[in-house]
Copies of this chain bind each other. A is one copy, B any other.
């Protein structure tokens, strides 16, 4: 199985567990709606790419980590789209979960996906028990408080936002979690991958700001113009389109330069550079193209 197949098969298995038996019908529908069809699956692909680069010693645990990370990412999108945050009507060309199923089901869908992520990690590492606690702890740190996704989102409610902590927590943390979990599952050293993850996380943040500005639906499946409407910080407003693009290219090169020595280093570098072409909005002002 290639990386994409491992991720989709793993997600289907996880959702099968969460929606089986006497599951309330709306919740089951909403859980599937939130996860399928997916976006670019960037974070789980990164997680598995790192596991493969480190030798993929415990493939089942690595797949579980990738699946958990994507479930948590989907959970954060469902909750972020809700009326008390972005009040978004569309995600990945579909109605958002609260629009399709109601606010109460959207709230529970996010909760259910968070729980399913940790349940998947536990179920799939029963036979590699030394990996369970490190994987659960690493991934929980990436999504929780004080330094993960939850904290990142909470910075938006502070009168004095600390911009560095905000971006670190809201975007970089899950990239760091993805590479760390991939390395742990393959008995590699997670620390070797942090610099790469931070640069790549920053690149995605910048790309997302660019998409929002130039008027395309970006890698997150979020319609354009939402940041300005919601008063969120956007780097393009600060640097302009051309300097933002230059910054983005530099971040991708930094990520590729920071692939550590490992059996799969060269293919990892190639993957990152290829990924970078996905990041560039197709529609760009002529001067910046």
Contact = CB atoms under 8 A, between A and B. Distances in A.
Copies in the complex: 2
A84 B146 CA distance: 26
Most buried by B among A20, A102, A133, A162: A133
A129 interface: yes
18 contacts: A19-B146, A21-B147, A24-B146, A24-B165, A26-B154, A28-B145, A84-B102, A105-B154, A107-B107, A111-B150, A115-B143, A116-B140, A116-B145, A119-B136, A122-B136, A129-B130, A129-B132, A132-B132
A153 B22 contact: no
A18 to B, nearest CB: 5
Interface of A: 18-28, 31, 75, 79, 82, 84-85, 102-105, 107-108, 110-112, 114-116, 118-119, 121-123, 125-126, 129-130, 132-134, 136-137, 140-141, 143-148, 150-151, 153-158, 162, 165
B130 A23 contact: no
A144 B116 contact: yes
A283 to B, nearest CB: 32
Given A27-B146, A112-B145, A123-B137, 18 more contacts: A21-B146, A22-B146, A22-B165, A23-B151, A24-B154, A24-B165, A25-B158, A26-B154, A26-B158, A27-B150, A31-B145, A84-B103, A84-B107, A118-B140, A122-B136, A122-B137, A126-B137, A132-B133
A156 B105 CA distance: 10
A18 B84 CA distance: 23
Contact of A24 (B115, B133, B158): B158
Contacts of A147: 21-22
A114 B107 CA distance: 13
